[in-house]
Each structure stands twice: as structure tokens, then as C-alpha cells.
Amino acid sequence: MTVANERAPLLEIRGLSKRFGSLRALDGLDLHVPGGGLTALIGPNGAGKTTAFNCISGALRPTGGSVRFEAREIAGAPYHQVARLGLVRTYQVVQPFAEMSVLDAVTVGALLRRPHVAEARAFAGSTIEALGLGPKRDIIARSLTIADKKRLELARALATEPRLLLLDEVMAGLTPTECAAAVELLREIVARGITIVMVEHVMEVLMPLADHVVVLATGKVIFDGKPSEAVNDSRVIEAYLGRP
Amino acid sequence: MTIRSHLNVLGIVATALIALALGYHNAFVLNLVFVGLVFAVLGQSWNWISGYAGQISFGHALFFGCGAYASALFAVHHGSPWLGLLAGAGVAAILAVTVGFPCFALRGHYFSIATIAVAAIAEITATNVDALGKANGFEMPILPAGLGTLQFTEKGHYVLVALGLFVVAQLATIALERSRLGFYLRAIRLNQEAAASVGVDARAAKLTTYAACGALAALAGSLYAQQALYVGPEDTLGLPISIAIALVGVVGGLSTVWGPALGAFVYVALARYGGAKLGGTGNGVDLLLYGALILIIVSWRPDGLAGIVHSIRRSMKRRVVEPST
């Protein structure tokens, strides 16, 4: 591999836009995510964070712009194909396979790289174990607590063995103890070499965890840098609190 | 149910039906069993796409008719239905992909409506094409009996052939439940978008399944035509046939291995046997009974007869276990 390739970001987004009628949900978004580590994507409500995730992952077709994942253009590619390339997202509002057991639901994810059901089941089992859902493997997804549903969502995504994970508010609705456990989990995932981009509102969780913060407002990136700098940046403060 | 218990049930059912086919010579009963097996296969075909994958089809007669006409045409023009049987299955699979490709972009009821429309087009086409006998359909010549012509002098032999196809359909379903495709279909039914988010190509999975459904239903249609020695548009492509196939699946219990077989025998017992007993003067009483049964099952046990059998088995197990605890 050449030096240039090693320096190329894992995810490179240029001028990404998404319009819903006259609303510009994304208005020329530029974003570079280096391989490894955790990037936090923050911004006030309506800034376009979830729309960005939808357009990057293929759930929505962007109106314009380029999304390159591992130097391959994926803007407008079908959702399942993007997942196959190793870019998988989770949902802000959990989307479980309601009538499936935890093990079966995670097996669906594991089947992406392991076509044999027995192998996929075994891998799903170990993923569930690693996320602390082991005792609940036979429980039907519908009857899990919200914290466990979020963990299931994460387990299902991890079972596809992604290289880039987009996590949409995995901490929302968790108690402080559950949050602390989730932070540990995310550290382990990053340590395994999986790059994470996460949307999150709980700042005290994000700040020590993120290597890199990107602030979005009205569909544009207004800040891109270190977490410690973000909290003092006048544009960021203005976006959240308005002009003094 | 484990694979072993599925195979045990299948073995018992097959043995009992073989004994019946060879040892019992009541043509009326054997004919009911034959039609029951054909509908069990049709119901299973419907169950793959509408049960496991959750895409409710009200046009399954399209494939049934496709197989019936294809084998009938070959029996008339070439003296053997076999090539027609294979051609019918192939054409049905191609039709399924052709219909499915645009229609699987539609969600929910729109897919169901599209399936009705396509089957209606096929029925109207058959009604107007000279080579297919127009509205009257056509009769098939009586050929020397045997496996080569799929015509038999013994009713029981028709039952054996249909049983063969039924066993294949059951084994395929047992395998489907344990395959990657089976997992994918369930995931698509429960949440298509979430399935796509972890790499499931929903359209490819549905098209593959629908093609297999088409082929299986066409094979059932071929067997049916060879036994009736007649094909006609209403009898093979009509909406009532499509609805009967869907009802077999619903009454038996969606996404279960044995639901379609249970549904088929209830349907045949009520619609055919009941029709023979109650029909004639009191025409439609059988349909009334059947409608009432559907209402009861759908409102009381949406998981169908297979669900009822499942809970009876569970409560029996509990009763056996209880004294020791």
C-alpha cells in the first residue's frame, strides 16, 4: 500500500446535500473521518445529523455530493451494498426484529460474512456474550428493556464485522450506570480496530471518549477539531445558544 | 420443532397416505386426498412468499394455471406432459421474477393488489387465445397409463405422485427455515429497513423465493391438470383459486412448516366434501361454513391451526412434567 493510501481518510465526504422539498437538510457537508478512533458528530436539533447518517449509509439517496468509503464512491449506492462494504449504522429509534430472539436477530447480522447458519449462530453467540447480553439470548427482542434493545442493535451491527460504525444516539435514554457500561463497550470496539462515528447529546460522555469532534448546524459543518477546542469555539456556542 | 420431529411427522403422514393410496379404493375419498395434497403444496408455495417473507399474494393461481396449461399442452401435442411440467415450472419462475421485479418495490397492500391484477391478465389472456381453448379450455387425450404420461387407471397412483411433490415441498420448507434465506425472509418481514442496514438484499431474497414459489405452484398445477384431464381459465387461473390458496395458508398458520398441510385438509374437507354434501340444493352453505371458520381462526387464533396444535402439545408436555415437580 502506498503512503498516499494510508493517509487517505476512511470516510471522505464532499459537498453532501439532501433536500426535502425546499428544506435543505444537508447543505454541502464536508467531513473527513480518519481510520481508527472515535469521531463525535454533534449539533443542535435539526442540524442534519441523522440525515447525514441516512445519506452516508445508503438509507437515503443524497441530492448531491460525494461519499467515499475506503476510497470507493458510495453516494447513492443501495443500503445493503454499503453494509456489505463494511459501513453499518444503528438507529436512533431502535429498529429490532420484534418477534425474533436476541440470538436470531444478531444471527441475521452475522450471516453477512458467514453464509452458514451454524457458523453465523456461533459468531452471533460470542458477539452477544461480549456485549453482556448472554443471559438474554433466547428472549424475544420486543420484551427487552430500552437499554438492552440498544445493545441488541449494536450487537446486530457488530456481527456484520464492519470497519466503520455509525452510531445514532446509542446512549439516549440510558441511566448513568448503563451509560458508563456503554462507554467501556465503545472503547473496546475502537480498540478492536473499528472506527466509530457517533451522534450524541450527552456531552460529558462524549468529551473524554471522542478523538475528534465535528459540529453540524443547519446542514453544514461549522467546527471540526479537538473536543477541548469545541466547547470554547464561538461558532459552536452561537449555534447552540444563539448570538449574545 | 426439531428437524427430527419434523421428519418423524413427515414419515408418519407419508406412510399413512401410501397405505391409503394402495389399500383403499374409494375413488371419492382418494380424490379428496389428492386435491388436499395439491392444495397443501400450493399453500406451502404461498407460505414461502406470504408467510415467511410477509408479501401477501392474492394471485397465486397465476403459477398454478401456468403449470396446468403447460403440461396439458404438451400432453395434447407431444403425448407426454413431462416436458410441459418442467417448462411450466420454468415459465412460472420467470414470470415470478418478471412480476416480482417491479412489484417488490411496492409495499404492503400494493403488492397484493398487483398480484391480483397480473393473475387477472393471465386469465383474460387464456380466455382469448385460440391455442389455449379460449373460455372453454380444452380436454386432454387419454394416454396409455403410467409414469411417462402421468395418467393412471388407479386414483391411488395420483395420490402417490402428489404425495411425492408434497414431501419435496415439506423438506424444502424445513431446509428453508434453517437457511440463510430463511433468516433473511423473517428479517425482511419484521423490518425490511433494519434488514437492509445489516446487508440483507431484500429484493434479491424476495425474488429468489418468489421464483421458487412459482415453480412449486406450477408443478402442483401440472399434477392437477393431469388428473382432471381438462384445463380451463376459470378452474386454474381464476381469483377464487388464488383466494383458496391464500385461505389455506392463513387457516393453517403463516410461517409454519405444517400450517399449509393442515389448512389444505380443512379446506378440502369443508369446500369439497361439505360442497358435495351440502351443495346442490343448498349451494354456498359450504362457503358459509368456511367463511365462519376463517373468522373464528383469524379473530381467536391468528397463528392458525398450526398454532393451536403447538399449544396443545405444550400443555400436554406440561401435564406430563407436573406430577414430578
Mean pLDDT (chain A) is 89
* Nearest one of B206, B215, B234, B51 to B134, comparing CA atoms: B234
* Nearest one of A74, A64, A34 to A197, comparing CA atoms: A34
A111-132 pLDDT, tens digit per residue, is 999 999 999 999 999 999 988 8
User: What is the pTM assigned to this prediction?
Assistant: 0.89
Q: Distance between CA A121 and CA B322 in Å, rounded? A: 33
Predicted local distance difference test score (pLDDT) of residue A51: 93
CB contact under 8 A, B179 and A157: no
A79-99 pLDDT, tens digit per residue, is 999 999 999 999 988 898 989
* Nearest one of B87, B91, B59 to B236, comparing CA atoms: B59
| Region A194-217 average pLDDT | 87
Predicted local distance difference test score (pLDDT) of residue B323: 52
From A42's Cα to the closest Cα of chain B, the distance in A is 22
Q: Distance between CA B38 and CA B217 in Å, rounded? A: 9
The ranges assigned to domains in chain B are 3-241
A181-193 pLDDT, tens digit per residue, is 888 889 999 999 9
Predicted local distance difference test score (pLDDT) of residue B287: 63
pLDDT at A1 over 80: no
Structural domains present in chain A: 3-86+162-241 (3.40.50.300)
Beta strands, E only, chain A: 11-20, 23-33, 38-42, 64-69, 72-73, 87-89, 164-168, 195-199, 212-217, 220-225
Nearest chain B residue (CA) to A81: B199
Angle, helix B27-46 to helix B259-267, in steps of 10 degrees: 140
- Which residues of chain B fall below pLDDT 50? 280-281, 324-325
Q: Distance between CA A197 and CA A33 in Å, rounded? A: 8
From A2's Cα to the closest Cα of chain B, the distance in A is 30
For residue B205, give the H/E element and its range: helix B202-228
User: CB distance from B180 to chain A under 8 Å?
Assistant: yes
Which of B180, B190, B198 lies at the smallest CB-CB distance from A100? B190
Spatial neighbors of B146 by CB under 8 A, at least 6 apart, are: B152
pLDDT at A172 over 70: yes
Predicted local distance difference test score (pLDDT) of residue A55: 94
Q: Distance between CA B230 and CA A238 in Å, rounded? A: 80
Which of A83, A90, A105 lies at the smallest CB-CB distance from B199? A83
> What is the radius of gyration, based on Cα positions, of chain A?
18
